[in-house]
Structure 1
Amino acid sequence: MRNHRISLQDIATLAGVTKMTVSRYIRSPKKVARETGERIAQIMEEINYIPNRAPAMLLNAQSYTLGVLIPSFQNQLFADILAGIESVTSGHNYQTLIANYNYNRDSEEESVINLLSYNIDGIILSEKYHTLRTVKFLRSATLPIVELMDIQGDRLDMEVGFDNRQAAFDMVSTMLDKRQRRKILYLGSKDDIRDEQRYHGYCDAMTRRGLAPLRINPRAISSIHLGIQLMRDALTAHPDVDGVFCTNDDIAMGALLWCRERQLAVPEQISIAGFHGLEMGRQMIPSLASVITPRFEIGR
């Protein structure tokens, strides 16, 4: 039999129970006697039955579904976060609806509205800065909201993250004090609030030591290729730079590759540091110095 032709009554007849018992088992297996539940489950397995959850999502207050918004499918950072989220949801019979908004707040707004239409039980956001309309819809939904990767500024409900400014300050301070660098340049990417926080942390470390901040920020989505271009531009404009702090590991890996191609010894001649501690950066030669962020744990 095909799934769309199978009814709850069909399963009830085959299992020797009532239709109501089958319905109760599908909604809450623990509310049905163990032997009865095993019999129903066996019948469902034999006939390849997949429950239609749409009616329950409309009728019940709980849909067992969470909405998750991420700004990019191409960034390993968010793959790690999703893995952390699903390490918990899978054990609690929850499903995730994932939307990608490509670092565009208007697109995020549209995705939030679409996800809310599915009667989700909660929503997880990858950042804390949204359009006013997005905030209005989220507050009206009266459901749990979690914002990730940042603890600066106001929050809608709950937040899980770290202080980007302090983390950048600590890394640049280490480069200045332990590596004895005097001219460190900041390589950014797009116009992003977390990038700005890291830049301010970099500036804090530089100005505290009486050093002038230097910045190249093309307002472009980060990539290894962009890092190669930025490093070339940086050393063309500032040939005496002896350190580079990058807003993320993609940029830093590109910078490292450019130095290797030009036979500039890292870290002997120039120090390079990134942000997030991605696995690919750790496997490079030499291994990339980076601020390690607990992405899986943040998602979990």
Structure 2
Amino acid sequence: MATIKDVSKLAGVSVATVSRFLNKNGYVSKEAAQAITEVIEKLNYRPNNIARSLAGKKTATVALMVPDILNPFFPEIARAVEDAAHEIGYTVMLCNTDNDADKEAKYIETLIQKQIDGLIISSYTIKPEQVVNLQKHSIPVVLMDNAFPGQDIVSLLSDNRGGGRLATQHLIASGCRKIGHICGPMHITSSRERTLGYEEAYKQTGQFMPSLITYSDFTVKGGYDSMIGLLDSHPDLDGVFASNDLMAAGAVKALIERGINVPADVKVIGFDGIHMEMMVPELSTIAQPIYEIGKTAMNYVVALINQEPIDKKSRLFAVELIEKQSTKR
């Protein structure tokens, strides 16, 4: 295996020059950079990241922490993060927490010990003090789909409240008069905001009542169980807005099992915009720009690693209504 000394010898430059070139730290002439690049390709040289880490250098590795890898939203995020990382020579370590706070805490401790360069977190159980602790260990953090107001933490969020309004307004415009809402966990920022958007839009019709909201857990089973509960309480429902696409899929399953036609009898819309073409009927949804969010998260965490300025500590992404069969007139 080629070493940095082999590269410096063949390129005719010092080891320090090769090090500055590899770490992008300090001046390297164009001639030296070209010579080093040619030798690296010839020798197929790869920096020893473990040695660089022990020496206090960056390892070009970031971690992505997600709460549920079985939710198609998060593999799409992971794909975007990994694509962006590959473009700039970074490696991504995936940490799936299963919405388990203890598992999440163990991951964080391990990442601190491994001196990870940075961390992208999409979590429903993370606490602000955990993020602050990571920052104290010089590990930059970018939050996705969550925020801690008042904390100096970079956060990427979609327009969840606006999306909740848009979903509800779409159901109203499609002829729905009695609209139920399957809400996600209320301790999650995005879930609360989507519910607020539903309430703001539906209260304008004068038909809103608190019992039309049921609470679930962002899973297909949760959506199914909540839909059964809504039908038992409000058998005359003609519209449902679920706070994510998985719960919407569960709601459609429950409706079909009850012999209720979707969309002729009850129209259903979800939130996220994940790929669910296999569903019949195909699901209308409020789509987040999932790929753009993931790519932005990677670019932001690398900027923090390199101590580069970021234009906004909190960024809000626009959402889009995707109308498909489940809400057609």
Common topology (TM > 0.5): yes
1:122 aligns with 2:140: no
Greater gyration radius: 1
Counterpart Cα distance in 1 of 2:87 and 2:38 = 19
The answer for the alignment partner of 1:287 in structure 2 is: 282
Counterpart Cα distance in 2 of 1:42 and 1:141 = 38
Report which structure shows greater RCO (CA 8 Å, sep ≥6): 2
1:188 aligns with 2:186: no
Question: Are 2:128 and 2:148, in contact at CA under 8 Å, matched by a contact in 1?
Answer: no
How do 1:198-209 and structure 2 match up within 5 A? 198-209=194-205
Pairing partner for 1:269 from 262, 265, 271 = 265
1:33–1:181 Cα change, 3 Å:
closer
1:299 is displaced (CA, Å) by 0.6
The answer for the alignment partner of 1:38 in structure 2 is: 38
Question: Are 1:127 and 1:150, in contact at CA under 8 Å, matched by a contact in 2?
Answer: yes
- Deviations 1:215-270 (Å, cap 9, x if unpaired)? 2224x4x3323333332232123211111111111111122233334442222211
Pairing partner for 1:226 from 216, 222, 227 = 222
What SS does structure 2 have at the residue aligned with 1:239?
coil
What SS does structure 2 have at the residue aligned with 1:161?
strand
Counterpart Cα distance in 2 of 1:12 and 1:267 = 66
Counterpart Cα distance in 2 of 1:293 and 1:152 = 20
1:9 is displaced (CA, Å) by 8.4
The answer for the alignment partner of 2:209 in structure 1 is: 212
Counterpart Cα distance in 1 of 2:209 and 2:17 = 71
1:125 is displaced (CA, Å) by 1.5
Stretch deviating more after TM superposition (241-250 or 116-125): 116-125
1:25–1:140 Cα change, 3 Å:
closer
Pairing partner for 2:64 from 45, 68, 78 = 68
1:189 is displaced (CA, Å) by 4.3
1:130 is displaced (CA, Å) by 3.3
Stretch deviating more after TM superposition (143-152 or 253-262): 143-152
The answer for the alignment partner of 1:27 in structure 2 is: 22
Question: Are 2:183 and 2:213, in contact at CA under 8 Å, matched by a contact in 1?
Answer: yes
TM-score where L is the length of structure 1: 0.80
TM-score where L is the length of structure 2: 0.74
Stretch deviating more after TM superposition (207-216 or 77-86): 207-216
1:202 is displaced (CA, Å) by 1.7
1:136 aligns with 2:132: yes
The alignment of Structure 1 onto Structure 2 pairs a total of residues equal to 287
The answer for the alignment partner of 1:3 in structure 2 is: none
The answer for the alignment partner of 1:173 in structure 2 is: 169
Segments of 4+ moved more than 6 angstroms: 12-19
Pairing partner for 1:80 from 66, 76, 79 = 76
What is the identity, as a one-letter code, of the residue corresponding to 1:212?
M
What is the identity, as a one-letter code, of the residue corresponding to 1:298?
I
How do 1:9-24 and structure 2 match up within 5 A? 20=15, 24=19
What is the identity, as a one-letter code, of the residue corresponding to 1:131?
K
Q: Report the aligned-residue RMSD.
A: 3.2
What SS does structure 1 have at the residue aligned with 2:158?
coil
1:240–1:152 Cα change, 3 Å:
farther
Pairing partner for 1:97 from 89, 93, 98 = 93
> Unpaired segments of 5 or more residues in structure 1?
1-5
